[in-house]
């Protein structure tokens, strides 16, 4: 059992920087929670406070109901996996993995059994006598995981553990971490700036920006119901299209024409948010449409991205780019006037100043 509770947790550095502001979060036993956000948003600082590597300036951190603010990292029964792996170059894989247990003066036969078990789980058995210099990046990463695993800790904390791997390996390791976490059922808090990693790995995602939690939820819920414009733009790839819109009786006037959405109680101006994947080509003529000229098509294999540029007009002073994600068979081509269709009910509306989702 390992429930981690952050109760109004903040971090203020001596130079006055507030890196984390009033975070309230309950991480359930066995849960896999991802802290995600752009560089500098405070995710590593939050993780370091849970680990005990960074002092908590305000609020309380509880593990299984016990306040641990003042407890040293080694007394929190938590294992951390770093981006750098932090392996000892002069030790073999076996010695590296055994290290935390050797330090804790665990009896030798018990160490051997635990290392063996972790090596089997991580497919490292054949590599136990090698040194880190003779391992690939992915193998080193697994050794770092193994070293965390042998301790059988209450929780794993991982700070960008895959960021040093190439794209293909990252995807492979992502699925193996996911499988391992499900199998072990150990509470895990995982930091990443990569929204795909966040979407695919976590039971729940915590999206942070400027030290503040912007939204907490299951990946699909966050994608479907982003709380604000920041979250809407951060989750989803390519990012959501944002169009300044004037609210009129017949709908929202935007650079792509009128979006037939009529809602009471909207401010005079809003920002309309349309996911690139909401657009359909002329094979599915349904809902509302707009017509524009495709500047550029990027072929991605299974799908293609079509970019439109709308020049500033009388009411909209900014050039606006709109991207649509269509399947590879879509009969569109660069330079042609093209009509795309979308469901106006799925358009998000954001407050122009606060960014709050009004839909």
Footprint of ligand ATP (CB under 6 A): 13, 15, 17, 19, 37, 39-45, 193
H or E stretch including 228? none
Q: Please give the Cα distance from 170 to 192 (Å, whole number).
A: 12
Q: What are phi and psi of 226, to 5 degrees?
A: -65, 135
Q: How far is the CB of 76 from ligand ATP (least distance, A)?
A: 19
Q: How far is the CB of 19 from ligand ATP (least distance, A)?
A: 3
Q: How far is the CB of 192 from ligand ATP (least distance, A)?
A: 8
Query: In terms of CB distance, is 44 or 214 closer to ligand ATP?
Result: 44
- Residue 26 pairs in a beta bridge with 5
Within 8 A by CB and 6+ apart from 286, the residues are 280, 341, 343
Q: How far is the CB of 199 from ligand ATP (least distance, A)?
A: 17
- The 3-state DSSP class for residue 128 equals coil
In terms of Cβ atoms closer than 10 Å to its own Cβ (0-12, 13-18, 19+), residue 57 is middle
Query: In terms of CB distance, is 41 or 259 closer to ligand ATP?
Result: 41
Helix ranges, the chain (H):
43-51, 93-103, 108-121, 137-149, 167-184, 195-201, 219-224, 229-234
Q: How far is the CB of 78 from ligand ATP (least distance, A)?
A: 18
Q: How far is the CB of 42 from ligand ATP (least distance, A)?
A: 4
Query: In terms of CB distance, is 49 or 121 closer to ligand ATP?
Result: 49
Nearest to 83 by CA among 44, 120, 56: 44
Q: Please give the Cα distance from 60 to 40 (Å, whole number).
A: 22
Query: In terms of CB distance, is 193 or 253 closer to ligand ATP?
Result: 193
Q: Please give the Cα distance from 34 to 233 (Å, whole number).
A: 18
């Amino acid at each position: 059992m390992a429930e981690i509770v952050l109760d109004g947790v903040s971090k203020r550095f001596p130079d006055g920087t507030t890196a984390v502001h009033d975070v309230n979060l309950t991480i359930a036993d066995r849960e896999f929670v991802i802290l995600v956000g752009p560089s500098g948003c405070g995710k590593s600082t939050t993780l370091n406070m849970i680990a005990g590597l960074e002092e908590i300036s305000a609020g309380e951190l509880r593990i299984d109901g016990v306040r641990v603010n003042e407890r040293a990292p080694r007394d929190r029964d938590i294992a951390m996996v770093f981006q750098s792996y932090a392996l000892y170059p002069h030790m073999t894989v076996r010695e590296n993995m055994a290290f935390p247990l050797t330090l804790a003066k665990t009896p030798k036969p018990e160490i051997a059994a635990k290392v063996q078990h972790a090596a089997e789980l991580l497919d490292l058995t054949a590599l136990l006598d090698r040194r880190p210099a003779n391992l690939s990046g992915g193998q080193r990463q697994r050794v770092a995981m193994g070293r965390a695993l042998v301790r059988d800790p209450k929780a794993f904390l991982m700070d960008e553990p895959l960021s040093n791997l190439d794209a293909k390996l990252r995807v492979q390791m992502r699925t193996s971490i996911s499988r391992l976490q499900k199998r072990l059922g150990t509470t895990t808090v995982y930091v990443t700036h990569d929204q795909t990693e966040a979407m695919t790995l976590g039971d729940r995602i915590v999206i942070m920006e400027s030290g503040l939690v912007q939204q907490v939820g299951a990946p699909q819920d966050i994608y479907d119901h982003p709380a604000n414009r920041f979250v809407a733009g951060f989750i989803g790839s390519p990012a959501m299209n944002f169009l300044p819109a004037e609210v009129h009786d017949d709908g929202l006037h935007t650079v792509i024409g009128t979006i037939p959405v009529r809602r009471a109680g909207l401010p005079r101006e809003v920002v309309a948010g349309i996911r690139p994947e909401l657009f359909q080509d002329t094979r599915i003529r349904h809902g509302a449409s707009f017509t524009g000229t495709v500047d550029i098509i990027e072929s991605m294999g299974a799908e293609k991205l079509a970019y439109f540029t709308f020049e500033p007009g009388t009411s909209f002073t900014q050039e606006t780019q709109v991207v649509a994600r269509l399947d590879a068979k879509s009969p569109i081509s660069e330079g042609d006037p093209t009509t795309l269709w979308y469901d106006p009910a799925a358009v998000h509306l954001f407050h122009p100043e606060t960014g709050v989702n009004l839909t």
